Amino acid sequence: MKKLIIEKIEGIKYSLIDDKNVKYNLTLEFHDLENPIKEKNIIYINEEMLKNPNTLYSFGSLSSKYGKVVTPKDYEDLLILIVDNKEIYLKRLYG
């Protein structure tokens, strides 16, 4: 999983940067969150998703019925969000 810092948020458009100053632009939707996402928050995301910047990725609670059951072997559908020093585990939602 790739660690990225959120540089800028414009609606669902996220500008992200890694520790080598490589920039990424992704379209992300987040559901089931108690705290709002802010610039400078950190996400850990599957690097394969970075290869498809025009895809809309939706993430929500691990208990959501709209995604696969995530196991350690299925981490490609997992996203870790760090908000206010709290780790939030989310899974990719489908449908």
- Domain tally for the chain? 1
> Rounded distance, CA 41 to CA 56, Å?
20
8 Å CB contact between 42 and 25 = no
Q: Which domain holds residue 82?
A: 2-92
pTM of the full predicted structure?
Answer: 0.86
8 Å CB contact between 43 and 4 = yes
Among candidates 50, 81, 77, which has minimal Cα distance to 66?
Answer: 77
Q: pLDDT (tens digit, 0 to 9) for every residue of the chain, 95 residues total?
A: 899 999 999 999 999 999 999 999 999 999 988 888 999 999 999 999 999 888 999 999 887 776 666 665 557 888 999 988 899 999 989 86
